[in-house]
Structure 1
Amino acid sequence: MSQSAFIKLVPASTQQSITLDEVKELFHYYKEITSKTGEQVSWQYADAAFPYEVEQKEEGKDSWFLLKATSDRYKYIIVGVGTEESEENKEEATSYIQVVLPEGATYGDKGKANEFCKFLAKKLSGELHLFNKRVMYYYKRK
């Protein structure tokens, strides 16, 4: 059975909506900063920190993409974007990023997915709903 985690963009977030291309750019940024860390410690850290390739499927062209593993310890993670209507105000919509661990995903995939979720939530000052249904707040609360 697949599991999902959500990064919700709340009013206190750095931005209120996000596109699939912006999420891909954040993953490229993540790969870039981890490779710089690897250069500093003289180790190929980028390959270990991000053992995936971004693969865009035709059926999910505007809503999701696949992170396909380049290492045998991992398999794949699905990342998508969407919006949900607010319960209080039907006109107001909340954007979110959904990270899905499909059936067949390994424990390594789950660890990396948690790491990626925390990175995205921190970068966007969002509200992270983890796979275990716990919530982490990365925005300033009043």
Structure 2
Amino acid sequence: MSQSAYIRLVKESTVTSADLDDVKQKLDHYISMTSKTGQQLGWNYAEAAFPYTIVEKPEGKGKWFYLKGNNPELYKYMIVGVGSETVTVEESGQEREEHYIQVVLPDGATHGDKSKANEFCKYLAKAYQAKLQLFNGRTMYYYPRKP
């Protein structure tokens, strides 16, 4: 059975909505950061940190893309998509549109895929200052919260 993690863009996030191009830019920045770290260390860390190729299918245009692993024994694939849903604000009872980024581990994904997916989700949640709902159902808050 596939598993999903959600990066929810809440009111306190740096942006209230994101599209696939935004997510790809964040992943490109991640790749750039890790390659610079690798240069400083003197080895190809970028390939170990992001062992995937971004693949876009025509049927997923604007909604999702998938990351195909470069080493099929360790990393197979994961799907990254964007969407929105209507949520009820607890304090006021009003409804509002909440955008999210969803990372899906399909059947057949490896433990390496899950580790990398958790890493990418945490990076994206921190970059957007968002609320992260992990694959195991736990929630991490990367946005400033009221005491």
Mapped to 2, the partners of 1:80 and 1:89 lie a distance apart of 26
Q: What SS does the corresponding residue of 2:102 show, helix, strand or coil? A: strand
Task: Name the aligned partner's letter for residue 85 of structure 1.
Answer: T
Mapped to 2, the partners of 1:96 and 1:133 lie a distance apart of 15
Task: Name the aligned partner's letter for residue 59 of structure 1.
Answer: E
Q: What SS does the corresponding residue of 1:54 show, helix, strand or coil? A: strand
Q: What whole-Å deviation, never above 9, does each CA across 1:19-47 have from its counterpart, x for those lacking one?
A: 11110111111000000000000010000
Give the fraction of aligned pairs with identical amino acids, expressed as a percent.
Answer: 57
Gaps of 5+ in 1: none
Give the superposed CA RMSD.
Answer: 0.7
Gaps of 5+ in 2: none
**Residue of structure 2 in register with 1:62 after alignment:** 62
Whether 2:94 is the aligned partner of 1:89: answer: yes
Whether 2:126 is the aligned partner of 1:122: answer: yes
Instruction: Choose which of 106, 113, 125 in structure 1 pairs with 2:110.
Output: 106
Task: Name the aligned partner's letter for residue 109 of structure 1.
Answer: D
Task: Name the aligned partner's letter for residue 135 of structure 1.
Answer: T
What TM-score, normalized by structure 1, do the two folds share?
0.97
Mapped to 2, the partners of 1:28 and 1:141 lie a distance apart of 28
Task: Name the aligned partner's letter for residue 14 of structure 2.
Answer: T
Whether 2:22 is the aligned partner of 1:18: answer: no
Runs of 4+ with >3 A deviation: none
**Residue of structure 1 in register with 2:34 after alignment:** 34
Q: What SS does the corresponding residue of 1:7 show, helix, strand or coil? A: strand
What TM-score, normalized by structure 2, do the two folds share?
0.94
Mapped to 1, the partners of 2:119 and 2:28 lie a distance apart of 15
Task: Name the aligned partner's letter for residue 94 of structure 2.
Answer: N
Mapped to 1, the partners of 2:113 and 2:87 lie a distance apart of 31
Mapped to 2, the partners of 1:71 and 1:44 lie a distance apart of 15
Task: Name the aligned partner's letter for residue 47 of structure 2.
Answer: D
- Alpha-carbon deviation of 1:89? 2.7
Q: What SS does the corresponding residue of 2:115 show, helix, strand or coil? A: helix
